[in-house]
Amino acid sequence: MTITRNVLHRPMTRALLTGALALAPLGAACAWQAATPPSNLQYQQTVQQQQTRDQLQKSQLSQQLHQDVADNARRPTANNARAQQQLDAAERAQRARDRANQQDLLDRDRAATALPRVVPKDLPAPPHSG
Protein backbone atom coordinates (compact mmCIF):
# COMPACT_ATOMS: atom_id res chain seq x y z
CA MET A 1 0.00 0.00 0.00
CA THR A 2 1.39 3.43 -0.97
CA ILE A 3 0.75 6.49 1.16
CA THR A 4 0.76 9.81 -0.64
CA ARG A 5 0.57 13.20 0.96
CA ASN A 6 -0.85 16.28 -0.57
CA VAL A 7 2.02 18.76 -0.27
CA LEU A 8 -0.21 21.80 -0.76
CA HIS A 9 -1.92 21.20 2.59
CA ARG A 10 1.21 22.20 4.50
CA PRO A 11 1.06 25.93 5.34
CA MET A 12 4.78 26.60 4.86
CA THR A 13 4.92 24.89 1.47
CA ARG A 14 1.83 26.73 0.34
CA ALA A 15 3.29 30.08 1.43
CA LEU A 16 6.57 29.40 -0.38
CA LEU A 17 4.81 28.33 -3.54
CA THR A 18 2.54 31.39 -3.44
CA GLY A 19 5.54 33.68 -2.93
CA ALA A 20 7.42 32.07 -5.81
CA LEU A 21 4.43 32.47 -8.11
CA ALA A 22 3.99 36.09 -7.05
CA LEU A 23 7.65 36.93 -7.72
CA ALA A 24 7.90 35.05 -11.03
CA PRO A 25 6.77 38.01 -13.21
CA LEU A 26 9.28 40.29 -11.48
CA GLY A 27 12.08 37.79 -12.07
CA ALA A 28 11.12 37.43 -15.70
CA ALA A 29 11.09 41.21 -16.15
CA CYS A 30 14.53 41.53 -14.55
CA ALA A 31 15.90 38.74 -16.69
CA TRP A 32 14.48 40.36 -19.82
CA GLN A 33 15.96 43.73 -18.90
CA ALA A 34 19.35 42.17 -18.22
CA ALA A 35 19.19 40.39 -21.58
CA THR A 36 18.49 43.56 -23.57
CA PRO A 37 21.69 45.42 -24.37
CA PRO A 38 21.83 49.07 -23.34
CA SER A 39 21.70 51.63 -26.08
CA ASN A 40 24.96 53.04 -27.39
CA LEU A 41 24.22 56.39 -25.72
CA GLN A 42 23.57 54.72 -22.36
CA TYR A 43 26.79 52.76 -22.70
CA GLN A 44 28.79 55.87 -23.55
CA GLN A 45 27.29 57.75 -20.62
CA THR A 46 28.04 54.88 -18.25
CA VAL A 47 31.63 54.69 -19.47
CA GLN A 48 32.02 58.48 -19.16
CA GLN A 49 30.64 58.45 -15.62
CA GLN A 50 32.98 55.62 -14.61
CA GLN A 51 35.96 57.46 -16.10
CA THR A 52 34.99 60.60 -14.21
CA ARG A 53 34.69 58.66 -10.94
CA ASP A 54 38.08 57.05 -11.59
CA GLN A 55 39.69 60.41 -12.30
CA LEU A 56 38.16 61.97 -9.19
CA GLN A 57 39.40 59.07 -7.08
CA LYS A 58 42.86 59.42 -8.61
CA SER A 59 42.78 63.13 -7.86
CA GLN A 60 41.81 62.48 -4.23
CA LEU A 61 44.64 59.98 -3.82
CA SER A 62 47.04 62.49 -5.33
CA GLN A 63 45.83 65.13 -2.87
CA GLN A 64 46.42 62.75 0.02
CA LEU A 65 49.94 62.08 -1.23
CA HIS A 66 50.62 65.83 -1.51
CA GLN A 67 49.34 66.30 2.03
CA ASP A 68 51.57 63.54 3.34
CA VAL A 69 54.59 65.09 1.61
CA ALA A 70 53.70 68.52 2.99
CA ASP A 71 53.35 67.11 6.51
CA ASN A 72 56.78 65.49 6.23
CA ALA A 73 58.29 68.75 4.92
CA ARG A 74 57.00 70.66 7.95
CA ARG A 75 58.80 68.55 10.53
CA PRO A 76 62.38 69.77 10.00
CA THR A 77 61.30 73.42 9.83
CA ALA A 78 58.84 73.36 12.72
CA ASN A 79 60.67 76.19 14.53
CA ASN A 80 61.12 78.37 11.43
CA ALA A 81 58.11 80.68 11.03
CA ARG A 82 59.13 81.92 7.56
CA ALA A 83 59.50 78.36 6.25
CA GLN A 84 56.11 77.46 7.72
CA GLN A 85 54.51 80.43 5.95
CA GLN A 86 56.04 79.35 2.66
CA LEU A 87 54.78 75.81 3.16
CA ASP A 88 51.31 77.14 4.02
CA ALA A 89 51.27 79.23 0.83
CA ALA A 90 52.41 76.25 -1.24
CA GLU A 91 49.69 74.06 0.29
CA ARG A 92 47.01 76.68 -0.40
CA ALA A 93 48.15 76.97 -4.01
CA GLN A 94 48.14 73.18 -4.40
CA ARG A 95 44.63 72.91 -2.94
CA ALA A 96 43.41 75.66 -5.29
CA ARG A 97 44.89 73.79 -8.29
CA ASP A 98 43.32 70.53 -7.14
CA ARG A 99 39.90 72.14 -6.70
CA ALA A 100 40.15 73.79 -10.13
CA ASN A 101 41.14 70.49 -11.76
CA GLN A 102 38.28 68.62 -10.09
CA GLN A 103 35.78 71.33 -11.01
CA ASP A 104 37.02 71.27 -14.61
CA LEU A 105 36.62 67.49 -14.68
CA LEU A 106 33.06 67.72 -13.36
CA ASP A 107 32.18 70.52 -15.77
CA ARG A 108 33.52 68.55 -18.74
CA ASP A 109 31.59 65.48 -17.61
CA ARG A 110 28.41 67.49 -17.22
CA ALA A 111 28.87 69.02 -20.68
CA ALA A 112 29.56 65.62 -22.24
CA THR A 113 26.45 64.03 -20.75
CA ALA A 114 24.13 67.00 -21.31
CA LEU A 115 21.46 66.67 -23.93
CA PRO A 116 22.36 68.37 -27.19
CA ARG A 117 20.86 71.79 -27.72
CA VAL A 118 18.23 72.02 -30.41
CA VAL A 119 18.51 75.18 -32.45
CA PRO A 120 15.37 75.88 -34.47
CA LYS A 121 15.81 76.57 -38.15
CA ASP A 122 14.71 79.88 -39.53
CA LEU A 123 11.07 79.77 -40.41
CA PRO A 124 10.03 81.10 -43.81
CA ALA A 125 8.61 84.59 -43.73
CA PRO A 126 4.81 84.70 -43.72
CA PRO A 127 3.29 85.80 -47.04
CA HIS A 128 2.36 89.47 -47.18
CA SER A 129 -1.27 90.18 -47.84
CA GLY A 130 -1.70 93.20 -49.83
Sign of the Cα pseudo-torsion (12, 13, 16, 21, in order): negative
Predicted TM-score (pTM) of the model is: 0.50
In a domain, 76, yes or no: yes
Confidence of residue 105 (pLDDT cuts 50, 70, 90): confident
For residue 30, the surrounding DSSP H or E stretch is helix 11-35
Cα gap 86→91, rounded to integer Å: 9
In a domain, 107, yes or no: yes
In a domain, 120, yes or no: no
- Does residue 85 or residue 29 have the better pLDDT? 85
Mean residue pLDDT across the chain? 78
Is residue 9 predicted with pLDDT exceeding 60?
A: no
- Does residue 42 or residue 119 have the better pLDDT? 42
In a domain, 85, yes or no: yes
In a domain, 88, yes or no: yes
In a domain, 117, yes or no: no
Cα gap 29→31, rounded to integer Å: 5
Identify whether the C-beta of residue 55 lies closer than 8 Å to the C-beta of residue 102: no
Name residues whose C-beta falls within 8 Å of residue 121's C-beta, 6 or more positions apart in sequence.
none
In a domain, 10, yes or no: no
In a domain, 102, yes or no: yes
Domain that holds residue 95: 39-112
Is residue 7 predicted with pLDDT exceeding 50?
A: no
Structure confidence at residue 121 (pLDDT):
73
Q: What are the pLDDT digits (tens) for 63-102?
A: 899 889 888 888 888 899 999 899 899 999 999 998 999 8
Q: Which of 40, 43, 22, 24 is nearest to 32 (CA)?
A: 24
Residue 26 CA, distance from chain mean position: 26
Structure confidence at residue 27 (pLDDT):
66
Structure confidence at residue 93 (pLDDT):
94
How many independent structural domains does the chain possess? 1
